[in-house]
């Protein structure tokens, strides 16, 4: 019998009580990992409502019922100390931490001219600070282990970005900014932790969940007996792969994933370059160079949502 690729490894999945996080936690457990299922348990996708242990406990129970190993953690990863306790729980329970999957998030959508300070702060707090908090404590754990071992250890980070960052999303300036920040956090972490044997990658998942019910409203759904290309279960195998020993050479990468498709996103490239005739540009010279360049390009080079998603509305 072939050994499971994540056997003997311990994982944390945040925001794992529902949707993508749940599918990812189940997949890691299926591949052999012992899992800490984290979810603050608030019912509103905007982070509203009373916190509840129910979602995290239910997923942990589901993993155990299938023969896996899992415990629940119901803390808020946006709280620095609760994130510390989450990492400590994994280490105390399983003896170490090997895999961190950051997925927790909320939505508070509004156009930039209507968005309140609190709506901006809340989304940045949960997504970007939440990713930082858990990454900080996991990184410290791996660094200490590496020093004690005198060499590289096993560590995998999988962060959750979004195509709202890649392609823009008019009504989500807070969300797009947070997801862009997560990519920056990921690439910086990848460089910082590589010498310890740790990799850090980010995914841009497309999935039909509570968080995206508005985004995918009206997109055609599968017929009877057909597989939904937007099912969260399509995203989870990539997370399992990135968490595995097979992905040791994958580091600092951004990947878009949905049903039947994984796209590796290149880092930004220079599209055009202009040099000043003298030591510095003048306004007039820039006008002569840049205005014609942009005049020859399409007025709107931003992809429409259907083009970005590769989907058709029903």
Cα Rg, the chain, nearest whole Å: 21
Q: In this structure, are residues 182 and 164 in contact, taking their beta carbons and an 8 Å threshold?
A: no
Nearest to 234 by CA among 215, 257, 211, 209: 257
Q: In this structure, are residues 100 and 10 in contact, taking their beta carbons and an 8 Å threshold?
A: no
Active site residues: 162, 175, 179
Nearest to 184 by CA among 161, 205, 163, 153: 161
Alpha carbons 76 and 150: distance in angstroms, whole number = 34
Regarding beta strands 99-101 and 70-73, do their DSSP bridges make them parallel or antiparallel, or are they unpaired? unpaired
For 179, residues 6+ apart whose C-beta sits below 8 A from its C-beta are: 127, 160, 161, 162, 164, 165, 204
What is the SS3 assignment for 310? coil
């Amino acid at each position: 019998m072939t050994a499971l690729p994540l056997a003997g490894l311990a994982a944390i999945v945040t925001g794992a009580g529902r949707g993508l996080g749940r599918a990812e936690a189940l997949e890691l457990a299926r591949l052999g990992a012992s899992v800490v299922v984290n979810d603050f348990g608030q019912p509103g996708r905007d982070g509203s409502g009373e916190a509840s242990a129910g979602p995290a406990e239910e997923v942990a129970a589901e993993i155990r019922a299938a023969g896996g190993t899992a415990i629940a953690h119901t803390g808020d990863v946006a709280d620095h100390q609760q994130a510390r306790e989450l990492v400590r729980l994994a280490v105390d329970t399983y003896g170490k931490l090997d895999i961190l999957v950051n997925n927790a998030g909320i939505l508070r959508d509004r156009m930039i001219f209507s968005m309140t300070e609190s709506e901006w702060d809340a989304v940045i707090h949960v997504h970007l600070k939440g990713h930082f908090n858990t990454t900080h404590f996991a990184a410290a754990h791996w660094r200490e282990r590496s020093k004690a071992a005198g060499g590289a250890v096993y560590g995998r980070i999988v962060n959750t970005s979004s195509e709202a960052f890649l392609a823009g999303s008019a009504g989500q300036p807070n969300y797009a900014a947070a997801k862009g920040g997560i990519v920056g956090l990921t690439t910086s972490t990848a460089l910082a932790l590589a010498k310890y044997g740790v990799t850090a990658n980010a995914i841009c998942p497309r999935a039909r969940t509570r968080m995206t019910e508005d985004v995918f409203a009206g997109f055609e759904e599968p017929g009877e007996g057909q597989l939904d290309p937007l099912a969260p279960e399509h995203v989870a195998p990539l997370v399992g792969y990135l968490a595995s020993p097979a992905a040791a050479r994958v580091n600092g990468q951004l990947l878009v994933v949905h049903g039947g498709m994984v796209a590796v996103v290149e880092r930004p490239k220079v599209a055009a370059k202009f040099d000043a005739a003298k030591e510095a540009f003048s306004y007039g010279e820039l006008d002569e160079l840049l205005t014609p360049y942009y005049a020859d390009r399409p007025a709107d080079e931003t992809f429409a949502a259907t083009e970005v998603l590769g989907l058709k509305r029903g």
